[in-house]
Structure 1
Amino acid sequence: MNLVSFCCRARVASFFRHRRLQRILLLALGIVGAAIYSWLFSSLLEQAQAGATSLSVNKVLEYANLLLLALIILKGFFPAYVPKTEIIPRIYPVSAIERFRTELIVELVSPFYFILLNFLILLFLMSPAYTALHLLQSVMVLLTAHITLRALQVLVERKIRWRHHMFFAAAVMAAAFVAIQVQEPTFTPAYSWLKIIVHMAALGFLTASNYFLEASATEPRRKVVSHSSSTRRSLSWRLFKNHKLARQMLIFGMVFKALILGADALSYSKEGKHILDEIVTLWLFVGPLVIFSYVFNNIWGFYRNLWLTIERSSGNYKDFIKASLLPLRVPLLLDAVLTFLYVALFNHQHALFIVLMYTGSILLLIPFGLIASFVSPKAVKGGIFSFSAKVSYLYNFLAIALFAMLFLPLLHPVLYLLYPLLIGGTFFALAAVLKEYPRYKYKLFQTLYKTEG
């Protein structure tokens, strides 16, 4: 327990070591947001009890638990991948079970989970329909989502010994967890202690599976660049294929997009309704935002040698624009194919809007990505497979805000008039940044090359 308490204290101290006031304000803002959402769900529960809404109490509670699941798992991958925190160095002399227990507990000591816990406690205090059983179940949903995220991070970042006995043990425990979930999903409301015990058993199986999975993992993945002697191969394809880190991140982003679109397609096929019409924020996955928020809002960070080549050869802004399009072609083509397959097969009624929105988003996000890459570059270190802090979070959120404005025509077609204003404004901003490029290039070089050591 001394190790756990020491790591917890160190983790809490690290959150407020830098930019203390800013982080305290963000934490306070998160708590206020948790209170607002607690009030909203308590109001929904009250209306459901009174029969004033089509939703039942069970459905509202189920949606609250599903919200927890979605927030925890998606925050690890969107708007950018967040790697698993290595709290205890691998060379530290501690047993595997002690390392696992300590890291699992300490990972939960974070502002994010503190805000979620505030949401649950405030909901419990505000709504009589949200009982102590429901609170306990929601805490187990939170733990289930976190452990699921840890398992995904291990699969992403570490090499797995697929034939190792620990992996087989992990598979058996995972199968037991899935079997219980099929019969009694964790997110469905529980009204008896027997169901709580069943959920606890499922959580135990999942935790054991996660432990065995980590035990079956070896060293982190390493980036390997493969060289091709074929001169006929596209340079765009080589840039995509040879940069394993960028390729992995883009694939993860597109897989998440495919899952969202696949869920919407399944809903439309079975019920004739689109999930996108009910959860408006999922429209963000229809456009190419994912590939920009993962990689191309920091294109020079990922392809710094490409930037240096242009800088030393001509330094012309036209060459920078052309060079930035080279690594973008293949992922943008894949994203476009995925999107238009979805439109052609499952979403004819919004086809015109999606085509116009997608075209507008390309014209908007490409110059914005260049602006972010010049103004706020991030160093992307090679070698160890890691995704941490690869793109500016500020510019990612600005990109999301600008991209979201492209969906305003869903409210009224006249709002298509915003498209040329947004695109034109972004191009004017890019022109201003390129005009100041001689000032930015020193920051680029310092960030991309002089931070090594």
Structure 2
Amino acid sequence: MDLILYSCKARLNSYFRHKKVQRVLLLALGIVLSAFYAWLFTYLLQQSREGGLNMDVNQMLGYTNLLLLAFTILRGFFPAYIPKADFINRIYPVKPLKRFWTELVVELVSPFYFVLLNFLLLLFMMSSDYTVLHLAQSFLVFLTAHITRRSLQVFIERRINWRSSAFWGAVVMAGAFVAVEARAPMFEPVYSGMMLVVHLLSLTAFLIANYLLEQAAYEPKRRTVSYSNDARRSLGWRLFKNHKMAKQLLLFGLGFKVLMLGIDATVYTAKGIHMLDKNVTLWLFVGPLVIYTYVFNNVWGFYKNLWLTTERATGSYKEFLKASLLPLRMPILIDATIVVLYVAFFNHEQATFILLMYAAAVMVLTPIGIIASFTSPKMVKGGILSFSAKTSYLYSFISILLLGLLFLPLLHPMLYMVYPVVIALTLFAMVAVLQEYKQYKYKLFETLYKTE
């Protein structure tokens, strides 16, 4: 117990050791947001009970638990991957079971979990539909999500002895958990203590599986860099894979896009209508806007060494264009694949518009990104959650405005005539900026390589 208390205290001290005021303010903001969302879910539960929504109270409670499950798991991977807590080195003479319980408890001592707990307690106090059984069930859902995240982190960070008895014991216990939850999902609201006991027993089996999995993990994975014999073909992939911050931002944006399109696809499957038709702003997520506003409106800020290499090697416009397009290749391919799959399975009605709009958006936003990278570069610093801007706000708004013009054909098909005009204007602007490159390169070097 002393080891757990000491580790919890050390965890809290480490969090507030640096940027204390900023982190206290962020924690206060999290508490305020938890209160707001508790009020919002209370209102939605009331509307469900009174028939104001197309779902009953049970469905609303189920969706609440599903969101709790999803956010707790995704918090470890988006917007940045959070490594598994390793408070006690394996060389220390601490029993495995004691080490496991210490790390499990200390991982729960974090501002994110505190805000989440605050949300659940406020929801319990505000809503009469959210009973003590539902609160206890949400705790079980939350712990299940936490253990799931820990298991995924073990697979990511450590090598597994696939033939060990510990691993196969983990498989058996995890299989028992899945079998129980397949018959009676934990996120569905319960109204009897006996069902809560069943979920508690299944969670216990899952916890044992997590412990056995950690015993089957024998050493950390070593970081390796893979090379290809065909450097030209693999360079775009390596630029995407090896730049940690750019990859995190892009994956976060693509994940959010999948979430929005997935919600629309779910609504369409259930009701036969599209959310995109009810809210015009949601159409922005169909295009590739997020890729540019997150990263490629500041491509040289993220890939400054690529710019410097091209500048010192040739300095020609043709090479600059090739270098600008190399980091864009892989994210655009992934983003376009997502859109094509969405169109193929869930939105045949607007297929012509979506595909034409997407192609035009790439032809419009790419020149804008090149212009922004030359005329308004920003030095990328700090982490992904830092308050420093990663791209130009001005060019982000310009990108949104130009992409908005590409939605005009939704009003009338004749407005497709806007496409060649917008594309021509952006290409003309890009050529004009490239001709003045000799003036911009000094500003680029000063911004990207200045010392602080």
TM-score by length of 1: 0.76
CA distance in 2, matches of 1:373, 1:159: 44
Look up the SS of the partner of 1:77 in the other structure: coil
Out of 437, 441, 447, the residue aligned to residue 448 of structure 2 is: 441
Once the two structures are superposed, residues 358-409 of structure 1 have per-residue CA deviations (whole angstroms, 9 ceiling, x without a partner) of 7537754845995899524259xxxxxxxxx46867547989x868886799
- Tell me, yes or no, if the aligned pair for 2:236 and 2:330 is still in contact at 8 Å: no
Which structure has the higher relative contact order (CA within 8 Å, separation 6+)? Answer: 1
1:168 aligns with 2:168: yes
Structure 2 matches for 1:125-140, cutoff 5 A?
Answer: 125-140=125-140
Give, as a single letter, the amino acid of the residue that structure 2 aligns with 1:6: Y
Question: Cα RMSD over matched residues?
Answer: 4.7
Instruction: Report percent identity of matched pairs.
Output: 47
Give, as a single letter, the amino acid of the residue that structure 1 aligns with 2:232: L
Q: Who is 1:151 aligned against?
A: 151
Out of 234, 237, 242, the residue aligned to residue 237 of structure 1 is: 234
- Tell me, yes or no, if the aligned pair for 2:166 and 2:215 is still in contact at 8 Å: yes
How far apart are 1:225 and its partner, in Å? 2.4
Q: Who is 2:202 aligned against?
A: 202
CA distance in 2, matches of 1:407, 1:317: 29
1:224 aligns with 2:225: yes
- Tell me, yes or no, if the aligned pair for 2:177 and 2:203 is still in contact at 8 Å: yes
CA distance in 2, matches of 1:368, 1:104: 49
CA distance in 1, matches of 2:359, 2:234: 22
TM-score by length of 2: 0.76
Q: Give the gaps of 5 or more residues in structure 2.
A: none
Larger mean Cα displacement after TM superposition, 50-59 or 36-45: 50-59
Aligned residues: 430
Give, as a single letter, the amino acid of the residue that structure 2 aligns with 1:360: A
- CA 1:55–1:334 in structure 2 vs 1: closer, same or farther (change >3 Å)? closer
CA distance in 2, matches of 1:355, 1:332: 15
Once the two structures are superposed, residues 420-439 of structure 1 have per-residue CA deviations (whole angstroms, 9 ceiling, x without a partner) of 79x97x98999998662132
CA distance in 2, matches of 1:114, 1:171: 31
Q: Give the gaps of 5 or more residues in structure 1.
A: 380-388, 448-453
Q: Who is 1:450 aligned against?
A: none
How far apart are 1:126 and its partner, in Å? 0.8
Q: Who is 2:101 aligned against?
A: 101
CA distance in 1, matches of 2:390, 2:144: 28
Q: Who is 2:124 aligned against?
A: 124
CA distance in 1, matches of 2:89, 2:363: 42
How far apart are 1:345 and its partner, in Å? 3.5
Larger mean Cα displacement after TM superposition, 217-226 or 76-85: 76-85
- Tell me, yes or no, if the aligned pair for 1:288 and 1:332 is still in contact at 8 Å: yes
CA distance in 2, matches of 1:172, 1:372: 59
CA distance in 2, matches of 1:309, 1:245: 17
Task: Compare CA radii of gyration and give the structure with the larger one.
Answer: 2
Q: Who is 2:12 aligned against?
A: 12
CA distance in 2, matches of 1:367, 1:296: 8
Give, as a single letter, the amino acid of the residue that structure 2 aligns with 1:437: L
Out of 370, 375, 378, the residue aligned to residue 375 of structure 1 is: 378
CA distance in 1, matches of 2:112, 2:160: 29
- CA 1:361–1:148 in structure 2 vs 1: closer, same or farther (change >3 Å)? farther
- Tell me, yes or no, if the aligned pair for 1:223 and 1:245 is still in contact at 8 Å: no
CA distance in 2, matches of 1:202, 1:252: 33
How far apart are 1:52 and its partner, in Å? 3.7
- Tell me, yes or no, if the aligned pair for 1:159 and 1:219 is still in contact at 8 Å: yes
Once the two structures are superposed, residues 52-73 of structure 1 have per-residue CA deviations (whole angstroms, 9 ceiling, x without a partner) of 4332111221121122122222
1:192 aligns with 2:195: no
- CA 1:409–1:303 in structure 2 vs 1: closer, same or farther (change >3 Å)? closer
CA distance in 1, matches of 2:392, 2:7: 34
Look up the SS of the partner of 1:145 in the other structure: helix
- Tell me, yes or no, if the aligned pair for 2:240 and 2:247 is still in contact at 8 Å: no
CA distance in 1, matches of 2:374, 2:80: 18
CA distance in 1, matches of 2:85, 2:281: 28
Once the two structures are superposed, residues 288-319 of structure 1 have per-residue CA deviations (whole angstroms, 9 ceiling, x without a partner) of 46767997688678866534423543567875
